[in-house]
Amino acid sequence: MFLRLCINVDHVATLRQARKANEPDPVAAARLCEDAGADGITAHLREDRRHVQDADVEGMLKVLRKPFNLEMACTEEMLGIAERLKPHQVTLVPEKREEITTEGGLDVTREPELLSRAIARLKNAGIRTAVFIDPVPMIIERTAWLGADAIELHTGTYAHHPDDVRTINALRDGARQAVGLRLAVHAGHGLTVKNVGPVAAIPEIEELNIGHSIVSNAIFEGLANSIRAMRRAMDAAR
Ligand code: PXP
């Protein structure tokens, strides 16, 4: 199965918001990502709007040619925005105002009815749905019950402890379990050119969402080269 590389452009917006200026423009960056071979664009519209703004999402949906994945918390405000803007895909993520970045997968054992109603609303609007979760068997099973099209496996623990085989084994087992439950499998968080190989080699995974390391390397290599290097690392492992 082809492995899609979707680029998260949040940190282009982080740099802009550091000065509350109008550059760098994440919409222009997203276009450049598409031209450099990205298979899709991802952005997280956080409740506190610390990086990506509503106008960025609207701008990307106007000009992008490839699928756009909106990461968001499962709140009434965000569901309304998604229903109005109709991105290709929504990935539901947990969100805490005090966190620096998303710290783990969504706890799908809390308020499962609320989550499944939200997923049904998004699907009714024609939006593909994914849920960002930890690679834990019980969580994967509960997510299948929610009715989502896909899971995004949280790769953060693996990224922090790549030499601990339990972290990559959990992703491998989780991907296999999810496909058995008819869920498509995505993965992301903390992936870099150095650590992406073992994750890209998991055959059930069809999409990676990568942001921070691509934007970081872009400072030294340029955005297009940074994306191409990631693509090469993924292809070498597949
Ligand atoms: N997937 C999800 C659900 C995320 O929240 C993030 C971080 O915003 C990513 C992927 C990308 O992580 P990173 O920026 O570490 O590549």
The pLDDT tens digits of the residues spanning 167-192 come to 999 999 999 999 999 999 999 999 99
Q: How remote is the CA of residue 104 from the centroid of ligand 1, in Å?
A: 10
Has residue 71 got a pLDDT over 90?
Answer: yes
Instruction: Calculate the CA 112 to chain-centre distance.
Output: 21
pLDDT for res 23: 98
SS3 label, residue 237: helix
Location of structure tokens 């199965």: 1
Q: Report the C-alpha gap between 160 and 143 in whole angstroms.
A: 24
**Domain boundaries along the sequence of the chain:** 4-237
CATH topology classification for 4-237? TIM Barrel (3.20.20)
Instruction: Quote the CA–CA distance of 178 and 201 in Å, as a whole number.
Output: 16
Q: Which helix (H) or strand (E) holds 230?
A: helix 223-237
- Identify the residues whose C-beta falls under 6 Å from ligand 1: 8, 10, 44, 71, 91, 93, 101-102, 132, 152, 188-191, 209-213
d(CA 75, CA 66): 26
Res 97 pLDDT > 80 = no
Q: Is pLDDT above 80 for 152? A: yes
Residues 30-47: what's their mean pLDDT? 98
Active site residues: 44, 71, 189
Quick one: which H or E segment has residue 132? Answer: strand 128-133
Q: What is the pTM of this model?
A: 0.97
Q: What average pLDDT is seen over the chain?
A: 97
pLDDT attached to residue 62: 98
Contact between residue 149 and residue 130 where contact means Cβ atoms under 8 Å apart: yes
Q: How far is the CA of 230 from the centre of ligand 1 (A)?
A: 15
